[in-house]
Chain A
Amino acid sequence: MNAILLAAEMVFQPDVLVTIVLAALFGLFVGAVPGLTATMATALLVPITFFMSPVSAIGAIVTCSAMAIFAGDIPGTLLRIPGTPASAAYTEEAYAMTRKGQGELALGANLLFSALGGLLGTAVLIVAAPSLAEVALQFSSFEYFWLACLGLTCATVVGTGSTIKGLVSLMIGLLVATIGLNNPAGVPRFTFGNVDLMGGIDFIAAMIGLFAVSEIFRYVLGLSADTSNVQAPAGNLFTGWGKLFKQY
Chain B
Amino acid sequence: MGAKTFNGGIYPPGFKELTCSKEITPANEPEQVLIPLSQHIGAPCKPIVKRRDTVKIGQKIGESAGFVSSTIHASISGTVKEIKPVSGFGQCIVIENDGKQEMDPSVKPNPNPENLSLDEMRNIILEAGIVGLGGAMFPSHVKFAPPEDKPIDEVILNGGECEPYLTADHRVMLEKPDRIIAGLKYIMKIVKCNRGSIGVEDNKMDAVEALRKAAAGSDNIEVVALKAKYPQGGEKQLIEACTGREVPSGGLPMDVGIVVNNVGTAIAVADAIENGTPLIQRVVTVTGNGIKNPANYLARIGTPIRELIEQSGGYTGRIGKLISGGPLMGAALYSDMVPVTKGTSGILALEHSSLDRAEERECVRCAKCVDVCPIGLEPTTIMTYSKMGEWDLANENHVFDCIECGSCSFMCPSRIPLIQHIAHAKNMISQKEREEKEKAAEA
A, B: real partners: no
Residues of B bordering A, CB below 8 Å: none
Residues of A bordering B, CB below 8 Å: none
